[in-house]
Structure 1
Amino acid sequence: MTQQNLKLFGMEAAKGRWIFVLVGLLINVCLGSIYAFSVFRKPLETLWEITSSQSGYPFMVFLAVFAITMPLAGNLIARWGPKNTAMLGGLLSGTGWIAASFSADIATLTILYGVIGGAGVGIVYGCPIAVVAKWFPQQSGLAIGSTVMGFGVSALLIAPLMKAMIHHPEIGILHTFLYLGIAFVVIVTLLAQLLRFPSAEWASAEITTTSTVTTAIPSLNLSRQDMLKSGSFYALWATYTIGCLAGLMAIGIASPVGTEIAKLDATMTAFAVSLFAVFNGLGRPIFGAVTDKLGPKHTAMVSFAMILGVSLLMSFFGQDNALLYLFAFCVLWMCLGGWLAIAPTSTGIFFGKKHYAQNYGLVFTAYGAGAILGTLLSGNIKDITGSYLNTFPIVAGLSILGIIIAAIGLNPVKRQ
């Protein structure tokens, strides 16, 4: 291919490659319905007479299995391609929701919904990210952030739908899982048909003229084994875990904190969860673009400073303070969305795009660690102390730790 043809190819593909961002965004709207799970918690507690900790188990297990499956999915994407991998994941994810509708107790729901549904989402999730990362070899933060924005804004659409279905006399809690599962299988399978990687020439065809921090960092294209030998991987994994812990904790307890701490009624709390979803979605392209400009280290530090600030405010002034609740949880949800863009963008910046699916799959296990720790932390502290407010001083301390780790460890990998 001549240089002139490369330029023409680049110009044409540059216009069309945003379709993959749109497809990925729509797939993520389906996958991100887990972020509306807090709407189920109170009804499940009433239905089965279970505790606050127990009602969080499906959410915790779903996210943990989601993260554990991601490294395996990276290998599937490399072997089968993004289309076939996404089809498999979509089928499993929907099956988990459908099977959950037959649950008789919280343990069964946790296994069917958490394990099967979580595994399906873990298989699908990396497919559009890997596709977009390769279509945008430079300055990929905004594109990746826009792709995963669908996961964040999902609750904006799904939470009110879930609430309406749960309280509908002819549907109820368990049948809500059934109908949504069927819809997710159909939608994800159809959208998966459009996923594909660019040709080998594409990376060299894209020419970036904007000067950014990330374009100044040379890509090393490290394998998963080589990535594991770098200190940057462990710093990224640790900061990602802390960022997800704070954000996923906020997502898991958003609805009960609204009613129990902020003293909002059920309708206003459901509206608040939808509002938080907007910020969760916006945080992804915003922090992705900021990562392109400032680099992973400084963007991570900004995120942790924001989490620290609102955690301290909630610790001291959160009780019966509806406005502070709205402000703090908007920030926490936005920062979680931010980390879902910071981490995949940083993976490409530090370790390259050649083995991106496999590498980010391993980095993403931090999400699962954050999900487990955040859910256990909030649920157990609530059961022990009687208030979710007591989780926020711990989150503030972890944010300080995150700032320190980012400042010391989030550095480009040096060439050997």
Structure 2
Amino acid sequence: MFAKFISNSNDTSLLTATGASEADFTLFGQPARQGRWLFIPLGILVLLCLGTVYSWSIFRKPLEAELGIPTADSLLPYTFALVFYAALMPITGFVIPRWGSRRVLALGGSIVGLGYILASFANTIGWVTLSYGALAGAGVGIAYGVPMVVVARWLPDRKGLAVGLTIIGFGLSPLITAPLANYWIEALGVRSTLRLLGILFGVVIVALSTQLKLPPTDWIPVRAESIPAQISGHFSSHSSALFKTRSFYGLWICYAIGTLIGLSAIGISSPVGEELIGLDPTLAASSVALFAIFNGLSRPLFGWLADHFQPHQVATGSYGLVILACGLMMVSPQGSLVSYWVAFSLLWFCLGGWLAMAPTLTLRLFNPARYAQNYGVVFTAYGVGALTGTMITGQIRDWLGSYSYIFYGMAVLAILGILVANVFLREMMVEAK
């Protein structure tokens, strides 16, 4: 007995066998049901490389000194990176089914590497913004969705847990890549570091792209009964008309609110620690590392919860934690370190949760065969939340003179999210009966 792969034009692996059952299908030298789990660590490695975009603060000070630019200008590459990352992600969702996962990931990885390398030669902040921000950010957007699509297709019976585990790589990347980048900057300089990272990321992602392939279109685990049912056959049958479903608008709004709150919290974590709690900059930075751990750990947990509970219940639980965090910051006396740590750990925890819930719920609510396209559309909520959150928090601080007022707005948004989830996502389940 033997089995082999033949790849079609879309890179979807078609299994052919001579006298072999699906149980004989192997991956990485193991039976497919065991070998498929290895796609998760491969995806984590890809996202560890891509998540370095969140480590921009490591490069800011050295570039400010080299280029002679103010702090406001040094934020431009990071802002552009977020914009292009959010803009390209929806587009590539429609490209993956046509080009295949391996080609898309190799393209994205190559663009990321090229962006870093070109940034190492830039002599003005404008060229750094175009190379690191626009080009590398676009590469991140192109490559980001591929690992999630691959693991979701290979593990339909554990999709929430699988996606949540995979995207740990993106959330925890700053904890691993930032110290590495900082060490190289001190030893070699900022330009050589950007160049080395570009080469490293390009080579690693392109190499991993050869392994991250999609399963046969009709492949399911042997124990197919373990696959969670779609919440509604009505909705899954109309997934091509995504905008006609009430559940899409509920999920989109909830995702936008979750990311707006979470990314706002990320942006003000260190300044709040210094201004409201009275921490020195070193301890404030160390606190951010603690928060990042919670941001990563929440992803597999919320992915699992999204697999096993109804959408409105998981969303309500997340927003409830946000309200608790905001309440701690509202009522605790200024300088309360414990309240600060607990509150921001919860806020980062909930952001990581939404980055796992949104793709998992997209799989549950809509046709899994169109997951790449559907999540690309849903992901636009992340872009809206990111841009709105980063702009609003700064304005509130400038207008009212303190970050403390931001927590009242976050609490109101969380209450709005609970209402939307319980009307739109609960209503979806009623229609499905």
TM-score when normalising by structure 2: 0.85
Contact 1:35-1:251 at 8 Å conserved across structures: no
Matching residue of 1:138: 157
2:312 counterpart of 1:306: no
Unmatched segments (≥5 aa) in structure 2: 1-16
2:277 corresponds, among 262, 274, 277, to: 262
Give the C-alpha shift of residue 178 in structure 1: 3.2
- Identity among equivalent positions (%) equals 43
2:106 corresponds, among 87, 93, 100, to: 87
Aligned positions of 1:227-376 closer than 5 A: 227-317=242-332, 319-376=334-391
SS in 2 for 1:195: coil
Amino acid at match of 1:190: A
Amino acid at match of 1:171: G
Query: In 2, Cα distance between the equivalents of 1:228 and 1:399?
Result: 24
1:292-345 Cα shifts (integer Å, max 9, x gaps): 111221111111111122123224437433322222221111111111110000
Query: In 1, Cα distance between the equivalents of 2:236 and 2:170?
Result: 27
Give the C-alpha shift of residue 88 in structure 1: 0.4
Contact 1:304-1:402 at 8 Å conserved across structures: yes
- CA 1:43–1:178 in structure 2 vs 1: closer, same or farther (change >3 Å)? same
1:322-380 Cα shifts (integer Å, max 9, x gaps): 32222222111111111111000000100021111111111111111111011111222
Matching residue of 2:219: 202
Give the C-alpha shift of residue 107 in structure 1: 4.4
2:210 counterpart of 1:193: yes
Aligned positions of 1:60-209 closer than 5 A: 60-104=79-123, 106-166=125-185, 168=186, 170-172=188-190, 174-203=191-220, 205-209=222-226
Query: In 2, Cα distance between the equivalents of 1:101 and 1:258?
Result: 33
2:40 counterpart of 1:50: no
1:141-185 Cα shifts (integer Å, max 9, x gaps): 00110011111111211233344445x26414x554333222211
Specify the structure having the higher radius of gyration (Cα): 2
Query: In 2, Cα distance between the equivalents of 1:3 and 1:247?
Result: 53
1:204-239 Cα shifts (integer Å, max 9, x gaps): 7442448xxx53624554576411111111111111
Range with greater deviation from structure 2 (185-194 or 41-50): 41-50
Amino acid at match of 1:351: F
1:223-271 Cα shifts (integer Å, max 9, x gaps): 7641111111111111101111111122233333334443333433333
SS in 1 for 2:224: coil
Unmatched segments (≥5 aa) in structure 1: none
Amino acid at match of 2:375: Y
Amino acid at match of 2:259: C
Contact 2:230-2:365 at 8 Å conserved across structures: no
Query: In 2, Cα distance between the equivalents of 1:322 and 1:346?
Result: 35
Contact 2:23-2:32 at 8 Å conserved across structures: no
2:396 counterpart of 1:381: yes
2:229 corresponds, among 192, 212, 215, to: 215
Contact 2:160-2:360 at 8 Å conserved across structures: yes
- CA 1:87–1:183 in structure 2 vs 1: closer, same or farther (change >3 Å)? same
Return the structure number with greater relative CO, CA threshold 8 A, min gap 6. 1
Query: In 1, Cα distance between the equivalents of 2:143 and 2:400?
Result: 38
1:93-115 Cα shifts (integer Å, max 9, x gaps): 12222333344555443333221
SS in 1 for 2:21: helix
Aligned positions of 1:20-31 closer than 5 A: 20-31=39-50
Contact 1:71-1:358 at 8 Å conserved across structures: yes
Give the C-alpha shift of residue 13 in structure 1: 1.4
Query: In 1, Cα distance between the equivalents of 2:74 and 2:330?
Result: 24
Query: In 2, Cα distance between the equivalents of 1:317 and 1:408?
Result: 33
Amino acid at match of 2:112: S
SS in 2 for 1:142: helix
Range with greater deviation from structure 2 (71-80 or 377-386): 377-386
- CA 1:395–1:360 in structure 2 vs 1: closer, same or farther (change >3 Å)? same
Range with greater deviation from structure 2 (241-250 or 6-15): 6-15
Amino acid at match of 2:51: G
Contact 1:249-1:374 at 8 Å conserved across structures: yes
- CA 1:100–1:322 in structure 2 vs 1: closer, same or farther (change >3 Å)? farther
